[in-house]
């Protein structure tokens, strides 16, 4: 059965759509303050719904018309909302204390605008502001699962998941993945069981949410009120740099109440999954929760007379590879 058919009610919270390769070719006619030595460099930022990815070029000595021909690659999440920011600075070679580098010019390019600038691989002249010069860049966009289409269609997350869930993501030879990224961990948070109906001293059903993290990447489901068992049915992705070293931490917490305080998520149980674990990607699986949370490192067993709390997850690793 197709994944789309199985997941009609799933909530997709974060998915990576593709890669944007950017070659910073050169800049011309830079103005700005340019006092003393002119050593311009560039900072590129990809602003997406889940954060900012930053890249910095080298500085070119004593010139208003620097040539870099340097390349970087950014992950793309939302083709409609992600934005590429280009900023040119003058390097402060004097290294004076508390002095920041002067900004020469800025340009902000919505990815939607870049998609309209077909064909890919053509150099584009980008204005850095009135009278501040311009930068020349080359863009190549690769949408996952559409390697041979020069004008990739915009597809919904579920359509993308149907094609790539748990499979290799093939890239064309001219697209180089960002450094230290081997692929994505795709996690479907499905449901829980054995969780207490309510908290101590409470009579109304408890609300539970699941917090996932790998390193500094974090994701939390929406809270779900316990009615037989919590059913989250949410999907997210994490960037993976090492399948041998990265660990997925899963915390199940109870939402705060007027009694516990507004900022006090109550740990219910946790599990840590090594991505190198054999058969980790064998489909929807129940995992027993240890008592406590990952952060306080409690590893006590639950009361043997009670049902062991569990969470059902579907975890897959989709690797980036050249076809």
CB burial of residue 181 (10 Å; 0-12, 13-18, 19+): middle
Mean pLDDT of the residues in the chain: 82
Q: What is the Cα–Cα distance from 293 to 105, expressed in whole angstroms?
A: 47
Residues 6+ apart with CB under 8 A from 251: 210, 211, 212, 267, 269, 270, 293, 294, 295
CB burial of residue 113 (10 Å; 0-12, 13-18, 19+): exposed
Q: How far is CA 189 from CA 44, 76, 210, 255, 319, in A?
A: 34, 23, 8, 17, 20
Distance of CA 270 to the CA centre of its chain: 23
Q: What is the Cα–Cα distance from 120 to 297, expressed in whole angstroms?
A: 49
* Residue 21: pLDDT band with limits 50, 70, 90: very high
* Residue 262: pLDDT band with limits 50, 70, 90: low
Output the pLDDT for position 168.
87
Cα pseudo-dihedral 68, 79, 126, 53, rounded to 10? -40
* pLDDT reading at 36 higher than 60: no
- pTM for the complete prediction? 0.82
Q: How far is CA 184 from CA 3, 268, 282, in A?
A: 18, 27, 16
Query: Per-residue pLDDT tens for 43-60?
Result: 999 998 778 999 999 999
* pLDDT reading at 98 higher than 80: no
Output the pLDDT for position 2.
45
Whether 146 and 153 have beta carbons less than 8 Å apart is answered as yes
Mean pLDDT of 101-107: 89
* pLDDT reading at 25 higher than 80: yes
Residue scoring higher pLDDT (301 or 70): 70
Q: What is the Cα–Cα distance from 69 to 137, expressed in whole angstroms?
A: 9
**% of the chain residues with pLDDT over 90:** 42
Q: What is the Cα–Cα distance from 113 to 302, expressed in whole angstroms?
A: 54
Query: Per-residue pLDDT tens for 167-206?
Result: 888 888 888 888 889 999 999 999 999 888 765 656 677 8
What residue ranges define each of the domains in the chain, with the CATH number in brackets? 3-14+183-322 (2.60.40.150), 18-143 (2.60.40.150)
* pLDDT reading at 272 higher than 80: yes
CB burial of residue 1 (10 Å; 0-12, 13-18, 19+): exposed
Lowest mean pLDDT among 33-37, 264-268, 294-298: 33-37
Output the pLDDT for position 47.
94
Residues 6+ apart with CB under 8 A from 41: 56, 57, 58, 59, 60, 88, 89, 91
Q: What is the Cα–Cα distance from 136 to 28, expressed in whole angstroms?
A: 8
How is residue 15 written in tokens? 């998915």
Q: Return the bridge partners of 269, or none.
A: 252
Query: Per-residue pLDDT tens for 304-313?
Result: 445 789 999 9
Query: Per-residue pLDDT tens for 198-250?
Result: 656 566 778 899 999 998 899 999 999 876 689 999 999 999 999 899 999 99
* pLDDT reading at 160 higher than 70: yes
Output the pLDDT for position 6.
64
């Amino acid at each position: 059965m197709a994944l789309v058919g199985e997941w009609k009610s799933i909530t997709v919270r974060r998915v990576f759509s593709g890669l944007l390769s950017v070659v910073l070719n050169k800049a011309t006619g830079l103005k700005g303050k340019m006092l003393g030595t002119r050593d311009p460099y560039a900072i590129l930022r990809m602003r997406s719904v889940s954060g900012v990815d930053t890249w910095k070029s080298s500085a070119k000595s004593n010139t208003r018309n620097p040539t870099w021909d340097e390349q970087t690659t950014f992950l793309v999440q939302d083709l409609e909302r992600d934005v590429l920011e280009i900023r040119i600075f003058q390097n402060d070679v004097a290294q004076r204390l508390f002095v920041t580098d002067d900004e020469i010019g800025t340009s902000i390019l919505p990815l939607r605008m870049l998609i309209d600038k077909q064909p890919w691989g053509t150099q584009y002249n980008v204005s850095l502001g009135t009278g501040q010069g311009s930068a020349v860049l080359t863009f190549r966009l690769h949408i996952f699962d559409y390697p041979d289409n020069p004008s990739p269609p915009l597809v919904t997350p579920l359509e993308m998941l149907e094609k790539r869930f748990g499979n290799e993501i093939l890239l064309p030879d001219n697209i180089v993945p960002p450094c230290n990224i081997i692929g994505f961990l795709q996690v479907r948070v499905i449901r829980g069981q054995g969780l207490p109906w309510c908290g101590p001293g409470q009579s109304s059903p408890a609300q539970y949410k699941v917090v996932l993290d790998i390193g500094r990447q974090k994701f939390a489901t929406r809270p779900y009120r316990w009615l037989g068992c919590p059913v989250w049915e949410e999907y997210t992705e994490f960037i993976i740099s090492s399948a041998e070293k990265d660990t997925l931490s899963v915390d199940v917490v109870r939402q705060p109440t007027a009694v516990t305080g507004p900022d006090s998520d109550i740990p219910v149980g946790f599990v840590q999954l090594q991505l190198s674990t054999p058969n980790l990607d064998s489909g929807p699986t129940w995992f027993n929760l240890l008592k406590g949370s990952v952060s306080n490192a409690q590893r006590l067993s639950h009361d043997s007379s009670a049902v062991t709390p569990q969470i059902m997850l579907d975890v897959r690793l989709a690797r980036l590879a050249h076809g």
